[in-house]
Chains A and B, each alone.
Chain A
Amino acid sequence: KQEVTQIPAALSVPEGENLVLNCSFTDSAIYNLQWFRQDPGKGLTSLLLIQSSQREQTSGRLNASLDKSSGRSTLYIAASQPGDSATYLCAVLPSNQGGKLIFGQGTELSVKP
């Protein structure tokens, strides 16, 4: 059974700092891995999607990597800003599971001005 774990559960950093969020999954048979942002009481915003054949994806200050063989992904946020404060969720799409996403518990990020 696929399990997704995110570390740390919460993170507080000063503005301007570079940071890394971690995601690990137990079964490497995945189609892709996706990082989402969730603001309090809101839905999900897709940030980056990495196909199983890819190693990384970049969007602005965000860079996500994928090492499928070791079951790990990282989300790197450069020059963090207070507006980056949110919960970041990692989700994998297992192969042959009918499109069911498996989510991690999320990392709650707080960027202090």
Chain B
Amino acid sequence: GAVVSQHPSRVICKSGTSVKIECRSLDFQATTMFWYRQFPKKSLMLMATSNEGSKATYEQGVEKDKFLINHASLTLSTLTVTSAHPEDSSFYICSARPRDGYQETQYFGPGTRLLVL
């Protein structure tokens, strides 16, 4: 149990286009999902916390108009990279915290590799 999926696993797009990444909890409900970004050989940096039915909370330095987050249901959060540029190329990973779980429990998705040409 406790599986989190991400779609797509890999995407290549042209500069200026928008890309949507989905994060789904497959066998549990998640009131909170987290979005991380990882540069090559670097650590995961938290971008934002997504709460079902409310606005996402962004970390300092993350542009909320650039990275749109929608947590419309208890099993799905989406991250849309708007007007993507080459510097947005990165590995994006989400995690989900079960609705009935302890605060400490998070399950990670397999990640999405974004390449902007």
Contacts and interface: CB of A to CB of B under 8 A. Distances in A.
Nearest to A41: B113
Given A42-B110, A106-B41, 19 more contacts: A31-B103, A31-B104, A41-B91, A43-B93, A43-B109, A44-B44, A44-B93, A46-B108, A93-B104, A98-B32, A98-B49, A98-B103, A99-B32, A99-B34, A99-B97, A99-B103, A100-B49, A101-B44, A108-B41
Give the interface residue-count category, chain A.
20 to 34
16 contacts: A31-B103, A42-B111, A43-B93, A44-B44, A49-B104, A98-B103, A99-B32, A99-B97, A100-B49, A101-B34, A103-B43, A103-B44, A104-B43, A105-B43, A106-B43, A108-B41
Interface residues of B, number: 22
> Dominant SS at the A interface?
strand
Interface string B28-43: 0000101000000111
Q: How would you classify the secondary structure of chain B's contact residues: helix, strand, loop or mixed? A: strand
Nearest to A93: B104
B52 to A, nearest CB: 14
A99 B104 contact: yes
B70 interface: no
Nearest to B97: A99
A89 interface: yes
A100 B50 CA distance: 11
Given A89-B43, A89-B44, A106-B43, A44 B108 contact: yes
A80 B108 CA distance: 26
B46 A43 contact: no
B90 interface: no
B80 interface: no
A22 B97 CA distance: 27
Nearest to A87: B41
